[in-house]
Every structure is written in C-alpha cells, then in structure tokens.
Structure 1
Amino acid sequence: MTIPIRKGQAPSPIDRQAFGERFRDAFADPAFEAERGAIARLEAIAWQAFDGGRKAPHTQKAGEGFADPDYELSLDWLATRARLQAAQARWADARTTPRALLVVCAARNDGTCPGEMSKTYRLMQLAQEVLKADGIETDVLDLSLMTSDYRRHIHPCKGCVSTAMPLCHWPCSCYPNHALGQTGDWMAEIYERWVSAHGVLLLTPVYWYQVTSPLKLMMDRLVCADGGNPDPTSTHGKKADEAKALELTGWPYPQHLAGRCYGVVVHGDVAGIEGVRRSLSDWLDWMGLIDAGPQSRLDRMIGYYEPYATSHEALDRDEAMQDEVRNVARALAHAIGDLRAGRLSQPDRGLERPRPK
C-alpha cells in the first residue's frame, strides 16, 4: 500500500539577496565594520551550504547494528546516541548513585531583562536540599538560560511524528542543520540528562494559562522519547514514504524514558495552575514515567492577585507551600529509593495497548 505524500505548503527557498540580508543581520554592530570583506567571504560559503542543502557536513557509514550499514549518518547524531547509550547503562546499574533531574522551567532569571531571580528557582532550591539530604545526586536544568546565555537554543520540533512515527528519530536527527544555520541545539545535552535521571522534578510557573515557552520547546522535542525510531538508516534519513511504510507494518512505539519516576510543582498568581499540573502529569504518564504519589503533584498560588513587585515576599510568607514543595521532593526521593530496590509498583506494566501511539 502506497500512501501519498502531501505537498504544497512550503514556499520556495529564499534567494541569494534575502539570504545575504539575513546572514549579515548577525553582524550589525559597527565593531564588525573592519571585517566586512571577511564576512562577505563567510557569507558566500554559507550560501553554498544553504543552496546545496548541506545539513550534515560531517558523516560516516552507519556500520553494524543498523538496518543499512552503508548509510551515511551525521557524526553529531552518532555522538549524541553514544552518550545516551552510556547514560542508559549507568541508569540501569545498581551501583550508580541515585540521580534526580530538577528542571527549572521559568524563563526569568537575574542575568537578563527581568533583573531578578525566579520564584521557581527558589522552589527548586528547597527541593534540592531535601534530595541531597537523602543521598540523591541532583542535576539542575535551568531552562531560563535560554534567555540569558549566548546562542543557547532549543530549536522547535518540526513535527516529523505527524508524517509517520518512524520518521521521528531517537535522539532527534532534525538538528543540527548546518545548511539552515540551525546549530547549537541544547537538546543533545538535555536528552542525556533525562536518560541519566532516576527521578525528574518539573517546577514551573504558569504563563497565560499554559506552561512556559522554554518548557514547551523541551516537551515537544522529547516526543522522540515516546515511540522514536533509534535507527535513522531504516528511513534513510528523512524519507517520508519509507517511514509511512514502516509504520504501517506495525510500529512498536518504544518508550525510551519509561520507568523513571516524577514529581511536578506548578505555581501561579491568578489562574491556570490546575490545568498545567494535569497536562504535565498526563504527558509524563504517557511517556511511561511513574508519579511519586499524590503529594508529588502540587499546584499552588503565590500571592493570589497581589502585585508582581512583592511576589517574592509573598513566597517568603507562605511557609506551608514551602513545606509542600519539600514534601514533593520527599515523595520523589522515596520513589527513587523504591525504584532502585525494585519495589516501585507499576500495576499496568507489560500490558499491551490495543491502540498504541
């Protein structure tokens, strides 16, 4: 059965003039004026890469263990894959120190425009103290660095899974794309940090009734952890027709992060906390992670309808919430201990889904 590939949405690639204008935007500072000639030469090289579609300039044959050993795979992708395999081995080793990934999802920090740290970061510190006291190694992933670090990116998901699940590779192979200048993708590191964790704690404010934009970018790029294809040679890169055919043979939807436990802390100041907490819990459940109990899923208001200017003071006063966040961490620590000892209950483990996706 041949499934048609629908075309007609994408515009034609930009022309040489438009490319040059966009390229030179990065060098608008007058300090670059003395190097205009060198910049022009770099621009010509970058145009050749764009015009020729050189997504992955450094490749090697896939080799043994892949569907097509002769297919040229990106060295960037192979390096990320190797790190994930090593991280998974450490995760499964009973001798490894238990590890928790604490994800600070606010976009605010005091190193950029807001000029002040986020309340989310402070809540993370409360949880971190509890986990460390329980002998758990903590890894703090502060997504606000996207707003304050030089060229730190989480590039958006391109929606490969919506064409066919096997087109979505684990880890993601959409980036880096050198031809389009889509480089410096933080997700290559973030995948490894999720794989290394025995427990994950998400801490996030509510922005306009939803999760923050840095968190949503990370969530979308983690789609490859739930059903992603670990062998890009089986689709010869991004061959949509091959991916569709492969999916229709019966795709297993491997869950690459299943078996880890989680907690969630959501805070807001007016509305939206319950919906965000539910959506995050549903997302993590769907990927095969295990909640650490009812007290590990917290949503609370801080300074309900009070001024933003005094929100940190409102958090100072709310000692009950501070203790609730500590309880989230305690619950997660207990779950990690049970997980490592083989006592963590997963009643639905091993059940076959009649409609996998």
Structure 2
Amino acid sequence: MKSKFDTSRMPDIRKGMPSSNLDEETFKNRFRQQFLDPQFGTLEAELKKIANVAWRAYSTSRKSPKTRRAGDGFSDPDHELSFDWLATRDNIAAAQIRHDDESLPARILLINGSSRSEHTCPGEMSKSYRLVEIARSAILDTGQIDVEVLDLSRLASEYGRNIHPCKACFSTAAPLCHWPCSCYPNLGLGQTQDWMNEIYPMWVAAHGIMIVTPVNWYQVSSPLKLMMDRLTCADGGNPDPTSTHGKHANEAKALEMAGWHYPRHLEGRLFSVVVHGDVEGAENVRRLLVDWLAFMRLAPAAAKAQLDRYIGYWQPYATSHLALDEDRDIQKEVANAGKALASAVIELRRGKFPLADAGLSDPRSK
C-alpha cells in the first residue's frame, strides 16, 4: 500500500524530554542502596572504589563495552557488536535448527505467567503453576512431544532474574528494534542479567506455545507483560544491527521509509491460552493474549486450546486452592487444552495441519 507520506523527505527526530542524568552524589547514593546489609560494613573502602568505577561507567555511557567485529553476514562487517548480542543470536540460530529438525521430537513451551511462589513473600504456590503441571502431564502422555517449562514466577523469587522493560525502539522506526533485542545489557545503567537472552531461544525452538496466566487487575501479570513487550522484536525486528550502526535513529528511519520487509521471526507456531480469574477480567485477558499471538502470525491450535475460567468465584482468596481441588471440570479442561495443542503440533509437523492464511500477502504492517 502506498504511504500517505512523502517518502523522499526524511521525518525529523523529535527531542525535548527532560534529562534523566544523575549527578555523582545522587548516583552513588543509589548505587550503594544494594549494599545496605550490615555485612557489607567491613568493606567500606572497597565499596567506595567500586562506586567510583560504577560512576565512571555511568557518566561515560558504557553500555556494552565487550565487543568484536561483526564479520561476514552483516551489512557492515566492520561494525562492533557486543558479545552478549552475538551469543544470543547464535543461540537463536541453534534453536531454529532444532525447530526445523524433523528427526527430533516436537517441542511445546509451557509458560507459567503468575508471579506468585511459595519461595517468596506469598509463601504459597500459584494456581497457575498447578494448571501448568496438569497441562504438562497431559502433553507428555502423548509420548511424542518434549515440554519446556518457563516459570516466570522466578522473576520474583530467584536472584539475578530480570526482564528489563522494552524501550519502544520500534515506535521510532521498525529497523531500530533489533532481533534479538540489543538494548541490554547496559552496564553503565546497571541493567544486567536480562532473562530474555535465554527466553528468545525457548520461543524459537518451540512448535507450540501454551500460556497459563491469572488475571491481575483486568490484565495479564506483570512478568508476562514484560516478556510480551520484549517480544516486540520477534515481530518485525531487525536481525542486522549493523544496518543502523547500533541505535542511530536517522539510519533506522531511512531504512523504514525505503520499505521495511517486516520479518516475522515466530510465524507458523501454534498456541494455546489458559486464563483464570477470581472476580473479573478472564475473558478479556484471554482475548488480549489470543489477539497478540495471532498478530505475530502464530496460529490457534483449536477451540478447546483457548480457555478462560473462574476459580472460587467471589470466594475468599484463602480457600482458592481448595476451590481448584474441587473444580475437576477446569482440571479436565486444562488437560484438554494441552492435548489439543499437542495434537495440533503433531499434525503440523506431518504437514496435515492447514495454516489457511499461509502465503497470503499482508496489505499493511505495524
């Protein structure tokens, strides 16, 4: 479709937001907040030295200082790329090879979207995790599929697990959003240990994705939303950061205005969605997730693979696990959702699951 804008004229890069830079004292006070445990008291001299190094890294914007030449296969082989990004790219490539290898069992990625865990403040496991285990058992009963579980509750319960927020590079220009995401790590800003470097290959290796999530305030849980936002790069993201020489907005805008090919890196995988609530919002959250996955060109496995239900409707939260114990119907429905996804994945690999819109050209893109 022809653009309504004059593609011969480059759009301006808009600026004008207030600076977020910190002065040295404020930075060091914040940096030291992670060492308030009295056990660090004997290391005061060492902490001052470390804080000085951290300030130098921050004040000189040392994002990812460990880099190497990009090499063959990139538009600018001499551009420096970070070791972290290159390693994630290699892991994604290996995951794609695993996905395409028909001699290996099919794989389903089963995602627990709840942040509740017995290993942190709530002191009790989530109902989502129990439903994940029901689905996992049902899928494994087929004997033909490997299951990988991604438990997003570990963001809250495990040391060093982070999913940093999406910086919305795509909204400046699609090619500025790199696949995989190149925004992290940012050592100068202390944005490290990003779990998405491990999560991207999980999605790529999978033939089917099953998401089980509670409703949190009429929405998905915060860990699930973080992952969703960071998967923006999987739908139209630029696999060649050297084409924008890192984060050069003007180069990215020029590429998009010239015509962006919008690669869909997860297209063709199948999905199942299970949403459970206690008072409101389950149907809306299920629709939200289905629309999101379908927009990325993943395909619904079956009607029974999409489920929204209430557990212990308007009953005390304290008895919600008892309500799940007694609700044998939802247990069976979740098992059926897992089985439906498994059956569809098996048929897809046999070439017998019709993707009716495969090959159709898209008159518009995001």
Q: Percent identity?
A: 57
Instruction: Give the Cα–Cα distance (whole angstroms) in 2 for the partners of residues 297 and 172 of structure 1.
Output: 29
One-letter amino acid of the structure 1 residue matched with residue 162 of structure 2:
H
Aligned to 1:39: 47
Instruction: Give the Cα–Cα distance (whole angstroms) in 1 for the partners of residues 129 and 91 of structure 2.
Output: 28
* Aligned with residue 21 of structure 1, among 14, 29, 39: 29
One-letter amino acid of the structure 1 residue matched with residue 80 of structure 2:
E
* Aligned with residue 48 of structure 1, among 17, 33, 56: 56
Instruction: Give the Cα–Cα distance (whole angstroms) in 2 for the partners of residues 218 and 100 of structure 1.
Output: 17
Instruction: Give the Cα–Cα distance (whole angstroms) in 1 for the partners of residues 24 and 72 of structure 2.
Output: 41
Tell me the SS of whatever aligns to 2:259: coil
Tell me the SS of whatever aligns to 2:165: coil
* Aligned with residue 58 of structure 1, among 39, 59, 66: 66
Range with greater deviation from structure 2 (83-92 or 7-16):
7-16
| Superposition deviation, residue 214 in structure 1 | 0.3
User: Is 2:288 aligned against 1:279?
Assistant: yes
User: Is 2:192 aligned against 1:183?
Assistant: yes
- In structure 1, stretches of 5+ residues that fail to align are none
User: Is 2:228 aligned against 1:219?
Assistant: yes
Please, what TM-score do these two structures have when normalized by structure 1? 0.99
Give the paired residue count: 357
Aligned to 1:84: 92
Aligned to 1:162: 171
Aligned to 1:288: 297
User: Is 2:365 aligned against 1:352?
Assistant: no
User: Is 2:224 aligned against 1:208?
Assistant: no
Deviations 1:123-161 (A, max 9, x none): 011100011111211111000001111121000000000
| Superposition deviation, residue 343 in structure 1 | 1.3
Instruction: Give the Cα–Cα distance (whole angstroms) in 2 for the partners of residues 236 and 10 of structure 1.
Output: 26
Tell me the SS of whatever aligns to 1:249: helix
User: Is 2:81 aligned against 1:73?
Assistant: yes
| Superposition deviation, residue 12 in structure 1 | 4.5
Task: Output aligned runs, 1:145-160, within 5 Å.
Answer: 145-160=154-169
* Aligned with residue 134 of structure 2, among 106, 126, 138: 126
One-letter amino acid of the structure 2 residue matched with residue 104 of structure 1:
N
Deviations 1:63-117 (A, max 9, x none): 1110101100001000000000010011011011111111000010100000000
One-letter amino acid of the structure 1 residue matched with residue 260 of structure 2:
W
Instruction: Give the Cα–Cα distance (whole angstroms) in 1 for the partners of residues 100 and 338 of structure 2.
Output: 22
Please, what TM-score do these two structures have when normalized by structure 2? 0.97
The runs of at least 4 consecutive aligned structure 1 residues that moved more than 2 Å come to none
Aligned to 2:6: none
| Superposition deviation, residue 2 in structure 1 | 2.0
| Superposition deviation, residue 290 in structure 1 | 1.0
Aligned to 2:125: 117
Instruction: Give the Cα–Cα distance (whole angstroms) in 2 for the partners of residues 343 and 223 of structure 1.
Output: 30
Aligned to 1:246: 255
| Superposition deviation, residue 341 in structure 1 | 0.7
| Superposition deviation, residue 10 in structure 1 | 4.0
| Superposition deviation, residue 352 in structure 1 | 1.0
CA RMSD of aligned residues (A): 0.7
One-letter amino acid of the structure 2 residue matched with residue 198 of structure 1:
H
Instruction: Give the Cα–Cα distance (whole angstroms) in 1 for the partners of residues 249 and 237 of structure 2.
Output: 15
